[in-house]
Structure 1
Amino acid sequence: MSGTPATVALTAAGIHFVAHEYAHDPGATNFGAEAAAVLGLDDDQVFKTLMTDVDGRLVVAIVPVSGKLDLKALATAVGGKKAVMADPKVAERKTGYIVGGISPIGQKTAHPTVLDETATLYDTVFVSGGRRGFDIELTPGDLQSITGAILAPIGRP
């Protein structure tokens, strides 16, 4: 396995993580649910990385794949008024990753990041490792540390 910007950043920071590669189905469109199913994990423990636009600035939202992002709660968490999903092309350009493989770690440009507070219910959580078919397992505290994330209730069932 070759390194991704996410694994390079974690290694450089001395943060322990476990890499999980799996065969990505090119027909799959719900990448987080696919990861949870293939890796045999609870959907609440696998988190998706969503790029949003809050009042004209990009904000990273990390929520369980089992639910949805509450855009109002996200805007409130970062002191904004309105949040919308970012244009996928902008997300790819600003993160250096492709949609379905956007990791919250090692993005080309650092963005304010909000992690759903349910992450703290688990000893470890899973996020994209920087490409489709590749997840990284790490502690919620380490995820928060490496991304500079704030914790907030931004997910909903």
Structure 2
Amino acid sequence: MSKVPLTLRGAELLREELKRLKSVDRPAVVAAIAEARSHGDLSENAEYDAAKERQGFIEGRIQEVESKLGNAQIIDPKALDADGRVVFGATVELEDMDSGDPVTYQIVGDDEADIKQGKISLNSPVARSLIGKYAGDVAEVHTPGGKREYEILDVRYE
């Protein structure tokens, strides 16, 4: 598997999730399984079935997070020196050329993307059109709703 870019903050969040899964969620589901077993017949025990299903989900998520962290190329946006070029981890201030609305995005990995927090995936159409450009450039984005143009006002590494 190839390396997947991940910001420093994204890696911290995954490590926190992994710690919670191993130290809180896993012991809780083991206790729930033990409690359900104490109720007797397992063939018609919905609590036992639900706890076993939850255990499978938790173990699968632990493996997934460990794999993501193991294959991550962790990038600290503050340590970047891209001479004002839009790169992974950069925070970009844009102006929609049609409406004049300002918008700010940080370009992050797929797992970190959250449009409500202004974090867009490196693989999104907007991010792909911004990569490699500088402040003052115009990025043309082809979206399902049609072509949109954004002027890059500022590029920061924070």
Task: Provide the TM-score with structure 2 as the length reference.
Answer: 0.26
User: More relative contact order in 1 or in 2 (CA 8 Å, sep 6+)?
Assistant: 1
Task: Provide the TM-score with structure 1 as the length reference.
Answer: 0.26
Is the helix fraction higher in 1 or 2? Answer: 2
